[in-house]
Amino acid sequence: MAHLESILKMKILPSTLMQLRLNTTHAAAANALHKSSANSAEKFLTVSGKQYKHDSWTNVTPRIISHIGRNIYLKQNHPLWLIKERLIAFFHWKYQNRRSPSFAVIDNLSPVVTPEQNLTRSSCRPTIPAGSLSDSYYINKDHLLRAHTSAHQRDLLRSGLREFLAIGDVYRRDEIEPTHFPVFHQIEGVRLRYAHELKDDPEFRAIESPPGEQTLTKQASHTQEAVDLMTKIYRIVWKVNLDRI
């Protein structure tokens, strides 16, 4: 009987060793796959279904990313939707072109923009806080979440639009308090005016040539008189009416 036990053990032992080797191999493969997945997650970030490579500029958090695509301002009867619709109705009533609304409504643009769009393309100086790592959510060096809807301004103007409302969610690294939150919404109205629309005077110049000095209240290419006329129009026509809404 003792001899038989030895034989049985000899027969069982190789099978057991083989099973141990297989388990060890499977564990090693699973561990390698886990490491590979972890490395992949460290290198790429998925935003709105598109992958972006991580780099030293990446500071956007999963919590902030979770807000992208919610589009609560597009959900019927949501408080933001009601405000948006009321503002759109005002502009369509106030400004019409041959009995049709002159202001185009742009509310479906991706919040992912380039640093150029976020700053220089919106006629802002690159030194303003919205471009720094401490104030903006960067996906990587070449992409970030827009800090304002002005990020789309120049592209929309170049597309041929003269009057439009740009609406969307914007992102800034603000401290949460009663009047600030990292995710909020903007409605931006843009209207181009020709020189003769500002002032019926052949001597009037709206453009500086060569460009003058850029200040906090005017662009270098505009004359101060043109800026003053546009400001007057804003105060009298837009602000007074909008305050009544």
> pLDDT tens-digit profile of 60-93?
999 999 999 999 999 999 999 999 999 999 888 8
In this predicted structure, what is the pLDDT of residue 177?
86
What's the pLDDT tens digit per position in 84-126?
A: 999 999 888 888 876 667 899 999 999 999 999 998 654 545 5
The larger pLDDT score, comparing residue 98 to residue 234, is at 234
| Cα distances (angstroms) measured from residue 51 to each of 46, 63, 66, 79, 140 | 4, 17, 15, 32, 11
pLDDT digits (tens, 9 = 90+) for 132-188: 778 899 999 999 999 999 999 999 999 999 999 999 999 999 888 888 899 999 999
Q: What is the pTM of this model?
A: 0.72
| pLDDT band for position 39 (cuts 50, 70, 90) | very low
Q: How confident is the model at residue 197 (pLDDT cuts 50, 70, 90)?
A: confident
Q: What is the pLDDT of residue 109?
A: 95
Residue with tokens 């919205």: 130
Residue 130 confidence (pLDDT): 58
DSSP H/E element including 181: none
pLDDT score at 17: 34
In the chain, which segments carry CATH 3.30.930.10? 55-191
* CA dist., res. 1 & res. 8, Å (int): 10
pLDDT value of position 120 = 60
- pLDDT of the residue at 220: 84
- Are 182 and 173 in contact by the 8 Å Cβ rule? The answer is yes
User: Are 220 and 214 contacting, i.e. CB atoms less than 8 angstroms apart?
Assistant: yes
Indicate whether 13 pLDDT > 90. no
d(CA 115, CA 123): 12
State which CATH number among 3.30.450.40, 3.30.530.80, 3.30.460.10, 3.30.930.10 fits the domain covering 55-191: 3.30.930.10
* Contact call for residues 172 and 89 (beta carbons, < 8 A): no
